[in-house]
């Protein structure tokens, strides 16, 4: 796929068409746009370009999530965000339909918090949030009302002091969830085994974070 530096690795791979937008979300709660055809093209074995050369990021800012989107004005689509400390926010995709190269605020963050993961939802999905210490919560997206771009968000999961969110995904009943630990152990679980709760709870055990497994 590509040549990488020794301490680097590929984390995400997806197919996008030239006229789609890429929305890049950063730790600081900002979103930047690029049309796919504006991104540098490179041969199969090339190393690629550093994202800081493509986006005008601030000094303490890193990209944590991105969405390929064809139509920014599509009705009934939401950008669903989760922060490291378990704050969630849902905003209509249309609120992001006026691209600005310098980036705009997607979410107002508490000091020390970071925007961690983002997905596109329909307004009627169930959401699963998973944590570093092996907990997870599944709740209906309807629990969260849509908010404007600069709003702060609400509690999605209540975390233990030393815990943080590792990811968010849509959780349809007929799918399975793959949980993977630091030491390379993993398991698949039916989504239905995560009973539906209300947002803001502590969640249930998703995978044991033992000495063998790691976090």
Q: Can you say whether residue 130 is alpha, beta or left, with left for phi > 0 and alpha for psi between -120 and 50 degrees?
A: beta
CB 26, CB 65: distance < 8 Å: no
Q: What is the pLDDT of residue 32?
A: 92
**Closest CA relative to residue 4, chosen from 46, 37, 42:** 46
Portion of the chain with pLDDT greater than 90, in percent: 66
Between 204 and 13, the higher pLDDT residue: 204
Task: Give mean pLDDT, residues 34-55.
Answer: 84
Count the neighbouring beta carbons within 10 Å of the beta carbon of residue 110.
11
Q: Which of 10-19, 147-156, 203-212 has the lowest mean pLDDT?
A: 10-19
Q: What is the pLDDT of residues 102-120, one digit of tens each?
A: 889 999 999 999 999 999 9
Q: What is the pLDDT of residue 16?
A: 82
Q: What is the pLDDT of residue 49?
A: 81
Task: Give mean pLDDT, residues 168-181.
Answer: 94
Tell me: pLDDT of 136 over 90.
yes
pTM to 2 decimal places: 0.89
Q: What is the pLDDT of residue 57?
A: 87
Task: Give mean pLDDT, residues 60-66.
Answer: 89
Round the average pLDDT of the chain to a whole number and report it.
91
Q: What is the pLDDT of residues 182-211, one digit of tens each?
A: 999 999 999 999 999 999 999 999 999 999
Tell me: pLDDT of 133 over 90.
yes
- Where residue 15 falls among pLDDT bands split at 50, 70, 90? confident
Q: What is the pLDDT of residue 2?
A: 66
Q: What is the pLDDT of residue 181?
A: 96
Tell me: pLDDT of 37 over 90.
no
Written in H, E and C, the secondary structure of the chain is: CCCCCCCCCCCCCCCCCCCCEEEEEECCCEEEEEEHHHCCCCCCCCCCCCHHHCCCCCCCCCEEEEEEECCCCCCCCEEEEEECCCEEEEEEHHHHCCCCCCCEECCCCCCCCCEEEEEEECCCCEEEEEECCCEEEEEEHHHCCCCCCCCCCEECCCCCCCCCEEEEEECCCCCEEEEECCCCCEEEEEHHHCCECCCCCCCEECCCCCCCCCC
């Amino acid at each position: 796929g590509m040549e990488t530096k020794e301490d680097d690795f590929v984390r995400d791979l997806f197919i996008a068409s030239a006229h789609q937008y890429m929305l890049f979300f950063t730790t600081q709660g900002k979103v930047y746009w690029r049309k796919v055809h504006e991104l540098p093209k490179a041969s199969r074995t090339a190393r690629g370009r550093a994202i800081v050369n493509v986006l005008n990021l601030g000094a303490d800012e890193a990209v944590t999530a991105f969405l390929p989107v064809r139509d920014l004005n599509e009705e009934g689509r939401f950008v669903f965000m989760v922060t490291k400390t378990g704050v969630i926010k849902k905003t209509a995709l249309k609120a992001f339909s006026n691209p600005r190269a310098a980036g705009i605020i997607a979410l107002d963050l508490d000091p020390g918090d970071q925007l961690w993961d983002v997905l596109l939802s329909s307004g009627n999905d169930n959401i699963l949030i998973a944590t570093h210490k092996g907990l997870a919560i599944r709740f209906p997206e309807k629990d969260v009302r849509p908010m404007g771009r600069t709003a702060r968000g609400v509690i999605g999961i209540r975390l233990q002091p030393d815990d943080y969110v590792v990811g968010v995904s849509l959780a349809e009943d007929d799918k399975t969830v793959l949980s993977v630990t630091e030491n390379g152990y993993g398991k698949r679980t039916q989504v239905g085994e995560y009973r539906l709760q209300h947002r803001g709870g502590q969640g249930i055990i998703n995978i044991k974070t033992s000495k063998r497994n790691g976090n």
